[in-house]
A and B are shown apart, each in its own frame.
Chain A
Amino acid sequence: MSLVGHQSPPIFKRGPTPLARLMVFVALCLVMLVADLRFRYLEVVRQGLSVVTHPLQLAAAAPADFLRNAAVYFATLVEVQVENAELRRHQVEAAQRLLRFSQIERDNHELRGLLDMARSFAVRSVAAEILYDAPDPFARKVILDRGSAHGVVAGLAVLDARGMIGQVTRVYPVQSEVTLLTDKDQAVHVQVERSRVRGVLVGAGSNRMELRFVENNSDIVAGDRLVTSGLDGVFLAGLPVAHVVAVEAGDDVFVKVFAEPIAHTEGTVQVLVLGPDQAPPARPDPATEIKRSVDTVGAPDKGT
């Protein structure tokens, strides 16, 4: 009698060893992490599963909502009066600006027509409220109460009354996630309002930002206002973003420029989601562009 090929009784079957199972799960997690962090493949899975978790999230958000509403309810009369007075003053200021604005817009429209320039884009805007800070402690993000059902799409700029605070990076059906300008991975193409010097503004955490790729001889000083350039095709041009705080000597080519956001990136509640209504035209393929320019340059040579 040989025991080769003899099955062990089923009561001893426990499947693979714990270590083997651990290795399988760790490998699976690592694959998911790489697919998500590096290639962003898992957005569809995330969206799909967020439908399952959404009821639980709503239930969990209820106590926080209650506290927030209670805080509004118990706001003192004096605070409300002060706020009301300020809002009235703002409204009077805004009203007379608005009167001039419609005039200027009409002028601008006609002048653009005369110059045969492209018409400025229609604007998409959604008013929203910041619900809470995203719980992920590794990034600076907030959650808005408006999502794809209200017309929010990823990539739009988010502003408060003073200026830009961030960009919509992920859209759920009735919520969206905004990455604040001070996040390490958030970049905006900006120009100095005064001198039109351009650069890329990158978050540096804790209410600081750094303006990169500004040449040594550029006209930029502390106190300059930085506005979006609109060259990225994502943001509207001219949205106020940051103040330059300090300009320091950098390496041979670029200076070091530090900036602070104009808006209170952390602590605002009412915001506006704003962006061009249509997607920018597709980027031309560099290879075909070069070929075409070579062709047009080369053609007269052949003729003569």
Chain B
Amino acid sequence: MQPTHRSNRILLPAQSWYVYLSLLVALGLSYIPTGRLPGLPDWVAVVLAFWCVREPLRVGMGTAFVFGVLVDIGHGAAMGQFALAYVVLAYLASSVSRRVLWFPSPQQALHVLPLLLLSQIIMVVVRMVGGAEFPGWWYFLSSFSGTLLWMPLSVVLLLPQYRPVERDDNRPI
């Protein structure tokens, strides 16, 4: 694995425990009670999208479903609301994985923005069909803050996979 497909650096393989620990930490962050403050990123969605892009064979729709249900319970949302949004997000993130990894980090974030927006639109549609009121346009700010989070997050989440740079003139990469 490389940080991006154009990069010269080779990464160590991702550890399963680190992947799931990062998802659990994101779940904990999403449980922090912040009231009705708009624009807070959906931590689980961003971390999930990240691992679906990086490790599409390991993290996919099954993981998305489980974590979606856990977020549903923690937020007191309708059961299946976050699960549905995350499953669709995971499917799309895995399917664009091979394309996205050719781009540098800021452009990867631009690829992820429509996916995050789509997952929020799915939740709004589901709840409004269920008879809830429209939460206001500020609600969608969360996707944009999640996009801004992509760059720092991709450094932090790949941190254990970097190995120290060692110069070797006989090796091509």
B-binding residues in A (CB < 8 A): 18-19, 21-22, 25-26, 28-33, 35-38, 42, 45-46, 49-50, 52-53, 56-57, 59-61, 63-64, 131-139, 141, 143, 170, 177, 184-185, 205
Contacts and interface: CB of A to CB of B under 8 A. Distances in A.
Given A18-B94, A49-B70, A184-B133, A29 B76 contact: no
Nearest to A31: B80
A42 B130 CA distance: 15
A32 B77 CA distance: 12
8 contacts: A19-B91, A26-B88, A37-B78, A45-B79, A61-B33, A132-B34, A134-B76, A184-B133
For chain B, what secondary structure do more than half of its interface residues adopt (helix, strand, loop), or is it mixed?
helix
A136 B33 contact: no
Interface stretch (B4-12, B23-31, B102-110, B153-161): B23-31
B87 A29 contact: yes
B48 interface: no
A110 B91 CA distance: 71
B75 A57 contact: no
Contacts of A52: 70
B119 interface: no
Given A19-B91, A57-B74, A132-B34, 9 more contacts: A21-B91, A29-B68, A33-B84, A49-B73, A53-B73, A59-B28, A134-B76, A137-B38, A184-B131
Given A134-B75, A138-B132, A139-B132, A60 B87 contact: no
A85 B26 CA distance: 45
Interface string B45-69: 0000000000000001110110011
For chain A, what secondary structure do more than half of its interface residues adopt (helix, strand, loop), or is it mixed?
helix
Contacts of A33: 78-81, 84, 126, 130
Interface in B78-134: 78-81, 83-84, 87-88, 91, 94-95, 126-127, 130-133
A170 to B, nearest CB: 7
Contacts of B165: none
B73 A60 contact: no
B36 interface: yes
A46 B130 contact: no
Interface of B: 24, 27-29, 31-36, 38, 60-62, 64-65, 68-70, 73-81, 83-84, 87-88, 91, 94-95, 126-127, 130-133, 135-136, 139
A185 B135 CA distance: 14
A56 B133 contact: no
Contact of A135 (B28, B60, B76, B84): B76
Contacts of B136: 137
A42 B69 CA distance: 12
Contact of A36 (B24, B36, B79, B91): B79
Contact of B135 (A32, A35, A37, A138): A138
A138 B127 contact: yes
Contacts of B62: 25
B135 to A, nearest CB: 4
A26 B84 CA distance: 6
B76 A21 contact: no
Nearest to A51: B73
A26 B65 CA distance: 9
Given A50-B73, A184-B132, A21 B84 contact: no
A46 B80 CA distance: 11
B51 to A, nearest CB: 16
A56 B25 CA distance: 9
Nearest to A25: B87
A37 to B, nearest CB: 4
Contacts of A141: 76
B84 to A, nearest CB: 4
